Structure 1
Amino acid sequence: MKRLVVRGADVAFVVALLMAAGAVWPCAHGVRARLHERRGVARCPEAGEGGYEALMAAGLRHAQSNAALAKALACFDAAAASSPRSPEPLREAGLVAARAGRRVEALTALRKAAALADGSGYAHRVYAALYDVHAGSNAWDKAAAAISKAVDLAPSCVYYQALAQARLSSGDVLGAWRALVNARAAPDVERLDAAQLVALETNIGRLSSPAAVAAAAGDEPDSEAIRSRGLDAFAAAVAGSAKAGLSSSAELHYRYGTALTEAMARRRWSTLAGSADDQFDYVDEALAQFDRAAEIEPNHHHARVSAFHSANYNCVFDKRAESHRYVEALMESQLAAGADLTITPEMALLAFDGPLLASVNARLATEAERDHVNAAVKAELMAGWPKEPASDGRIVLGILNTWGPNAIMSKVMDCMVSVLDRTKYRIVLFDLGAVRGYLESWPVDEVVYMGAADGVTGARAIASRNVHILLDCSSMKELRGFYYTLHRPAPIAISWLGWPTTSGTSAVDYIAGDPVVLPKSPGDASRGAFAESFLVLPSYFVSCHRAKSAALLPHLSLAKSERSGERSALRAEIGLPPAGSGFVFANFNQLYKVTPALLDAWIDVLDAVPSAVLWLLRHPLPGERRIRKYLESRGISRERVVFTHTTQPEVFIRRASAADLFLDNFIYTGGATTLDTLFAGVPVLTLPGNRIVARMSASILTAMELDDELVASSVDEYVARAVHLATNVDEYVRVRTKVEAARDADNSRVFDVSTWVSGLEAGLDAVWRAWEGEQAKPQVVDVSQRQA
């Protein structure tokens, strides 16, 4: 399997050091190729044609091509032999070896170069290269040590930013903040262009949180003085610079609120398996900053939209309702005026439903096409579409992926592609992230790391592989990848799972779903008109749990675990009532999916089952305090609500089996979490709504033929079914036994990957036949009734 990297406009070390934790840094450590080529007997073609300078020039020239790295190494080896005391060829050889995936060889060469460069003006460049190699393998402590030496020798803005990246990736937020402040004061900071300077100063503000500034000052992080000092620090970081883009004091408050919000988000995701103490709760302060911005400048739409997003994500229910009304009216006004929308696609997905969501996505797609698509390149790529299968008779299936190893896409993708018929499909994975080790084992024909490639470069990379069908697993969730798709690099583009709504553009030919999540027709306005045609599969979701977690199955049987006492021991470990002494209702979704209407339903259930408890996860942490307050204000005592930390995925399923019944969310149901919970053998009770995200659990349960027992049609029925299962032991045991049997069925449309993939292949074959036959694109391609 080949591994290639696509580079955009020469992503050099100097302009690409920092790209982590969702921040947009002015520098990022860039894209490192993972070329699995053998050095073999490669030699420098220019050997013998010149001296040291000629060999170095030849090596640098060959290093520009991923296909000639072995030649580049040979030229640098020859240069090193001709000038044994020069560190430069060893440094260049080390960087090339790192790109070729030979890390040990790279580090050996760079350490020799460091010894030769000691005391010279070249040494800082060697240590910067060492940083690059260590950062490429996430060895952040070693990366920090290397770049610290470079900083000592040459205190440049770029090196300080690299140090900040290393500190932040090691969890040292204060150290990262100090490094960025030093970067702002470095003598070469004026070399940054306006965009880079704005990014630098914004990142200083992001890390100028109350906790970080408090730690620097030695004060208590919850004091009013620290909050003030945090704002002052942010203001000082951007004051006096015309490049900073602060048009008013309102903008200062808005950007500080954004800094606090993003600090919480970074810490929340980086400590997904950590303790509550590892998360920040700056919600009230962030909302106060957004409110202050709107008070100073009433039409500061970004502040009002950000207030909605922060309130929505952190369960500030009164603020959520107030700001939602404003944002909804704003979108309707901007749509009517033909103005650019002040919202991101992901915010819109959380905020809107039906026709308004469809209209917003259509406008956002139009803006993306206008601003990020090169019409000439798009026409060129469409003219070059493959008209028939490849020379070996196979269809080239491109998969556009942007997810980390714990996301549902990554959980299912590797076993899914291992089952696809490789006599029919050649599979190319286009990954939007940095080089990711977990992809190395995926059974695909080629992995292309897109890195920082822009829309044109990324689209050309896809088109150059003669992709017939592009399966886009992120769409508007990751706009950079969406720009590739908008350039139409393949004859057929299908959106599946990663973006559970319309993309708003016919550049995406199909959205894949099943009869439960998709409306009856693409034009069904009651559930939001879709720009795409429908590819209706037997099941929307697929799970790889049986392949990856089979060892857990003996522990997930209700009868066996209760007989052995294992279940009671597990409940005691978690802090839940012993098995048989108290029914455990649970919900393991993120708390931003919780609404007052859902909490009211849970209160009705708990009131009807006085011995029951409710088990939730504190993710995000700020939601716990607010949900507890809501429940306690309506008579649910604190001891009846159990919050626990998130855990690593392999631990979660075992713990989830301790629950009795999962009470699903209304507006945004479980997806991956529902699959995890059902694999644990725990029934999931759901009430489907209109949108795809509100019907995901219903889709899974229907595919498993559990809808009669576990899919409600109203809030009253949802409450009644939950109470019935909690108070009727025989019925509960029957339903849980049925869940276990459906999970273990040989032909499960959800948990048997081969069965699911046969449905996908039928869908891919159908859409290709329609295109190959030059038929008008059908509105619906339905293979949902196909039998495996």
Structure 2
Amino acid sequence: MSQPSQASKIALLQTGKPQFPEFEKFAKSIQSQERAQFAYDFKHGLREGASKGETPEQRSKKLLAQSRKMVLKHDNKQAISLLRKAIELTPDNAELHAQLGDVLVKDTDNVGAALSCYMKAIKLEPTTGSHYACVATLLMKMQQMEEAIDYFEIAVKFDPKNLIALSRMMHIKAHRLRWNDFEKVPTYLKVFNDKNVVSDPFAFLSLCDDGAFQRMRSEAIVRAKFKNPGRAAKPSPRAEGQKIRIGYFSNDFYNHATMHLMAGLLEQHDRQKFEIYIYDYGSKSKDHEHQRARRNADKFQDVRGMSTSDLVGLARSDAIDIAVDLKGYTEGGRLDIFNDRIAPVQVAYLGYPGTTGLQSMDYMVADRITVPSHLRKHFSESILYMPNCYQPNDENRYIEEMTATRSGFGLPEDGFVFSSFNNPYKVTPQEYDIWMNLLKEVPDSVLWFYVSKAEIRDVIRKEAEKRGVEGDRIIPTGRMPPERHLARLKYADLFLDTFNVNAHTTASDALWAGLPLVTKTGDQFAARVAGSILTAAGLEDLVTVSEKKYHDVALRVAQDPEYFADIKTRLAAARTSAPLFDTKGYTRDFERLLEKAFQNYQAGNAPKSMALSA
């Protein structure tokens, strides 16, 4: 798709007048498709419900309000129809065009139509920042990140109080390693330190390490989006031996980090005690991992496109006892159904490393490291404490046999290989400064750096040069299939973790493949995950609590051959002896915790934090 030129964007910033000929041409090309739909909607019910003497503007305003209710219920088809009726009545209302774009963009097949709507809104109100934020968000969904940053900057220029645009701009800049104004982040964050500010909770995880702040962000969006949280019905008698029904809810039942972790859990569930129901919001592919999920469910249901009321009704009719949310505030999450209450016991698990803020979410699964008692205050949920690590692992994960050498990956055959396989958005100048110092202190060492986009490879090398390190000592590497990714990890010597958001699945991948990791434990859940993983693998000495200690431990691993050899020996033994990789043992513990939570409900008690007794 053609994008506006840099010159036109600069002109817009200077004049406030839109000059987007490429967008306008594109928009006109699809208008004819919309006119037929407009005519149909007008003919089939535009005048229905109109009050006597009601003006077009008044009727249009009512239709807009109705459409928003439909969106909250995930009834997007009805919302689109209502908005098109409203636009026919008041075609010069920019808000209506923008709202229609917001609904259309939820379906990837309607991206073009959504863009047309946003451009109409911009033509009608060329200095309204929110319209540019809509275009930026669409570009973000299309992975056009540089252009998205430009449009978010325009949005913030016209509307400095558009904090959603600001938060997304900061988040995307992190993805692109745009550190030129990183020192401004604390100033930006101050405007979000308000319980009434609505923003994307996920966008802040990598920007600060503050559990109280993250809870504030989650609860703010809950207050804005969700009303009247559902309450659990009173317990009813159960037949002796009746199985507990667990429902797992996600759109990640395919080759995704969530399935890499929990596929073994699904296979190990005790089917004498539990029935497994899976509700798939729309996994991206029907690959091997998807088929594993299907095979290990008593009932697998594709519920993509279901409205809130329909999905809540389905789950309730299935008589789910325990509903497990695997998404939280990650893309495609459906916290709306959990707010309405789909099961007497509702559990947040694995997908989002922070509180949901939902009053109706009863529990969150954690452990004593990710959520020690003094940090429980950062969670609206009661905590279900796993005895070891909260994170499951699949002890049967396949590692491809690879005969390549280091040089095949652009690595030196000799010399120490530091590595970072976290998503680049987690990396900040704070860690990178330490990493560059390590390269200076360890002769002939390199940093093997995972980059999700090829175009930022030069960026990370230039950042090294700014810190006095030759750019060619940063060896970029990209995405690989899971089994090949695990295989390549043997060519690295040490994984350097990030701080605000630790390695999660990536940490377990590294340890499973025999690659040790050094981490620094912080305050929020996301900053404590790798510490939990390393402890469950018997490598507590690689868990640090300060930047200096983090640096010192990493340096010792690189410079002390005996210590390095000892770590590798312990890590090799962990594959068969450590709790981290005991899938069956983990599953039994997880089931006992869920049983305990359900028994607490059956006893008529309110949710409470609980752990397994010895």
**TM exceeds 0.5?**
yes
The structure with more radius of gyration: 1
Correspondence for 1:596: 429
Shift of the 429–389 alpha-carbon distance from structure 1 to 2, 3 Å rule, reads farther
Q: Deviations over 1:197-237 (max 9, x none)?
A: 6578679999xxxxxxxxxxxxxxxxxxxxxxxxxx99994
Find the partner of 2:211 among 337, 348, 354: 354
Correspondence for 1:400: 249
Q: Distance in 2 between matches of 1:189 and 1:412?
A: 45
Letter in 1 for 2:32: A
1:677 Cα shift?
Answer: 1.0
**Contact kept? 1:254, 1:290, Cα under 8 Å:** yes
Correspondence for 2:592: 762
**Contact kept? 1:386, 1:466, Cα under 8 Å:** no
Correspondence for 1:775: 605
Correspondence for 1:727: 559
**Gaps spanning 5+ residues in structure 1: where?**
1-175, 207-232, 265-279, 556-565
1:641 Cα shift?
Answer: 0.7
Find the partner of 2:222 among 340, 361, 365: 365
Correspondence for 1:505: 358
1:713 Cα shift?
Answer: 2.4
Letter in 2 for 1:617: Y
Letter in 1 for 2:166: R
**Contact kept? 2:252, 2:284, Cα under 8 Å:** no
Q: Report 1:200-279 matches (<5 A).
A: 237=116, 241=120, 246=125, 248=127, 250-264=129-143
Q: Deviations over 1:437-496 (max 9, x none)?
A: 343443111012221122222111111111111121112335652111111121111111
Shift of the 397–332 alpha-carbon distance from structure 1 to 2, 3 Å rule, reads same
Correspondence for 1:183: 30
1:722 Cα shift?
Answer: 1.4
- Secondary structure of the corresponding residue to residue 757 of structure 1: helix
- Whether 1:426 and 2:259 are equivalent positions in the alignment is no
TM-score, with structure 2 as normaliser: 0.78
Q: Report 1:335-734 matches (<5 A).
A: 335=195, 338=196, 341-352=197-208, 353-370=210-227, 378=230, 382-383=232-233, 387-389=236-238, 393-433=242-282, 437-438=286-287, 439-441=290-292, 442-477=295-330, 481-521=334-374, 523-524=376-377, 529-538=378-387, 539-544=389-394, 546-549=395-398, 569-578=404-413, 581-708=414-541, 710-734=542-566
**Contact kept? 2:442, 2:559, Cα under 8 Å:** yes
Q: Deviations over 1:3-55 (max 9, x none)?
A: xxxxxxxxxxxxxxxxxxxxxxxxxxxxxxxxxxxxxxxxxxxxxxxxxxxxx
Shift of the 465–632 alpha-carbon distance from structure 1 to 2, 3 Å rule, reads same
Q: Distance in 1 between matches of 2:376 and 2:392?
A: 27
**Gaps spanning 5+ residues in structure 2: where?**
1-22, 40-79, 85-96, 107-111
- Secondary structure of the corresponding residue to residue 188 of structure 1: helix
- Secondary structure of the corresponding residue to residue 193 of structure 2: helix
- Secondary structure of the corresponding residue to residue 448 of structure 2: strand
Q: Distance in 2 between matches of 1:770 and 1:205?
A: 42
Letter in 2 for 1:296: F
Q: Distance in 2 between matches of 1:239 and 1:772?
A: 51
Q: Distance in 1 between matches of 2:159 and 2:356?
A: 33
Q: Distance in 2 between matches of 1:246 and 1:189?
A: 24
1:575 Cα shift?
Answer: 0.9
Q: Looking at both structures, which has the greater relative contact order when contacts are Cα pairs under 8 Å and sequence separation is at least 6?
A: 2
Q: Deviations over 1:342-370 (max 9, x none)?
A: 41232243444221211221121222322
Q: Distance in 2 between matches of 1:649 and 1:236?
A: 35
Shift of the 349–235 alpha-carbon distance from structure 1 to 2, 3 Å rule, reads closer
- Whether 1:313 and 2:175 are equivalent positions in the alignment is yes
Q: Deviations over 1:731-787 (max 9, x none)?
A: 211111111111122xx3221210111110221121122221223432x2112x64x
1:332 Cα shift?
Answer: 2.8
Correspondence for 1:287: 149
Q: Which moved more, 1:430-439 or 1:660-669?
A: 430-439
**Contact kept? 1:455, 1:480, Cα under 8 Å:** no
Identity of aligned residues (%): 24
Q: Distance in 1 between matches of 2:115 and 2:216?
A: 41
Q: Distance in 1 between matches of 2:119 and 2:320?
A: 51
Shift of the 454–641 alpha-carbon distance from structure 1 to 2, 3 Å rule, reads same
Letter in 1 for 2:38: E
TM-score, with structure 1 as normaliser: 0.62
**Contact kept? 1:522, 1:532, Cα under 8 Å:** no
- Secondary structure of the corresponding residue to residue 750 of structure 1: helix
RMSD: 3.2
Aligned residues: 528
Correspondence for 1:169: none
**Contact kept? 1:390, 1:396, Cα under 8 Å:** no
**Contact kept? 1:435, 1:449, Cα under 8 Å:** no
Find the partner of 2:574 among 738, 742, 753: 742
Q: Distance in 2 between matches of 1:522 and 1:389?
A: 36
**Contact kept? 1:432, 1:450, Cα under 8 Å:** yes
Q: Report 1:120-199 matches (<5 A).
A: 182-186=29-33, 187-191=35-39, 193=81, 195=83, 198=98
- Whether 1:329 and 2:178 are equivalent positions in the alignment is no
Shift of the 774–234 alpha-carbon distance from structure 1 to 2, 3 Å rule, reads closer
